[in-house]
């Protein structure tokens, strides 16, 4: 069975170490653990991960965050992957740093990447992992915060967190959403 795993972020060196690229970091970790290289392709970089009989098409869109839906729609059609086997990893300012929230579906929560995907595929009924980046910013400073670089403390915690996210994704595709949510959703 094929799944489309999408890590949201922005391309370009100026965004490489920013909170808004948490999805890219998780995609990198998932691919690296399997030794699957990313190759440049239409609308993004793609790696193919095989795990317990499942084929995961791991996508890092090159369309920038606000147009992520274009890449997701293309790869769903290209690989003939139905919406119920699409899983998106996204940063979330509403969750404390390092908290994870897996969901089977949901609103975009004001996130432009999720909004673009829902607009392009006509639904928000796809799995997602929200990676908490915290919301420690002054009023009106949201853009600077999400496009800002990780602190040294956050950066030190990232390898363990992205590994946990990769485990959550593999659990989602092999054990199912309910079990994965029970195992990996962080309690407040």
The C-alpha atoms of residue 184 and residue 172 are separated, in whole angstroms, by: 10
Q: Is 18 helix (H, G, I), strand (E, B) or coil?
A: strand
The C-alpha atoms of residue 126 and residue 115 are separated, in whole angstroms, by: 12
What residues have CB less than 8 Å from 63, skipping those under 6 apart? 43, 44, 70, 71
The C-alpha atoms of residue 178 and residue 97 are separated, in whole angstroms, by: 23
Q: Is 22 helix (H, G, I), strand (E, B) or coil?
A: helix
Beta-bridged to residue 86, according to DSSP, are: 4
20 classed as catalytic: yes
Q: Is 36 helix (H, G, I), strand (E, B) or coil?
A: coil
Beta-bridged to residue 6, according to DSSP, are: 59, 88
* Annotated active-site residue in 20, 51, 78, 99: 20
- Are 173 and 3 a contacting pair, CB within 8 Å? yes
Catalytically annotated residues: 20
């Amino acid at each position: 069975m094929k799944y489309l795993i999408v890590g949201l972020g922005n391309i370009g060196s100026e965004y490489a170490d920013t909170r808004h690229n948490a999805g890219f970091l998780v995609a990198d970790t998932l691919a690296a653990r399997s030794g699957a290289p990313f190759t440049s392709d239409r609308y993004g970089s793609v790696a193919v991960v095989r795990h317990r009989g499942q084929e995961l098409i791991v996508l890092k869109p090159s369309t920038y965050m606000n147009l992520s839906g274009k890449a997701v729609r293309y790869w769903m059609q290209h690989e003939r992957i139905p919406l119920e086997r699409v899983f998106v990893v996204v940063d979330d300012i509403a969750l404390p740093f390092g908290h994870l929230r897996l969901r089977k579906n949901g609103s975009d929560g004001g996130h432009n990447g999720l909004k673009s995907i829902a607009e392009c595929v006509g639904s928000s009924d796809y799995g997602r992992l929200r990676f908490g980046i915290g919301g420690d910013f002054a009023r009106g400073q949201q853009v600077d915060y999400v496009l800002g670089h990780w602190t040294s403390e956050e950066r030190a915690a990232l390898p363990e967190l992205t590994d946990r996210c990769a485990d959550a994704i593999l659990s989602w595709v092999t054990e199912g959403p309910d079990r994965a949510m029970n195992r990996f959703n962080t309690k407040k």
